[in-house]
Amino acid sequence: MVMMSGLLFMAVLVIVPFTLASIRHLVMRSGRPGWLHRRLAARTRSGGLGLGATATEELHAFFNANKRVQIEQRRTQLAMRDDDHAGAPPRTGIDLDAGTAVVPRRR
């Protein structure tokens, strides 16, 4: 009985967020019903994970330590600075000390 309730609890942790994320996806793609589409569109951040994906990843990380490392690596990469010309001499840019801007010509 205890094992069955544990399995039911874990299934609810996975199935409920997945179902909600699926319904949200269908509403956002179809635009129906309109009131729910407007409400979801106003609350949706672009580029972020949905609630279902986040909950599934966290549950996966709970059982698999490698997934936790992957999630932490993703957070680290998002926080790090991204330079286009890392290590290369700059071809474009703005030099504030000299008061000049370099813009290459299109060929």
25-64 residue pLDDT tens? 888 888 888 888 888 777 666 545 566 677 778 878 888 8
| 3-class secondary-structure state, position 101 | strand
| pLDDT of amino acid 91 | 66
Residue 95: strand pairing partners: 100
Average pLDDT over all residues of the chain:
77
- The phi, psi pair for 101, rounded to 5°, reads -130, 135
Whose structure tokens read 């996975």? 14
Structure tokens at 85: 């010309």
pTM for this predicted structure: 0.39
Rounded average pLDDT over 66-84: 82
Rounded average pLDDT over 81-106: 71
| pLDDT of amino acid 44 | 62
CA distance 44 to 47: 9
Rounded average pLDDT over 59-77: 87
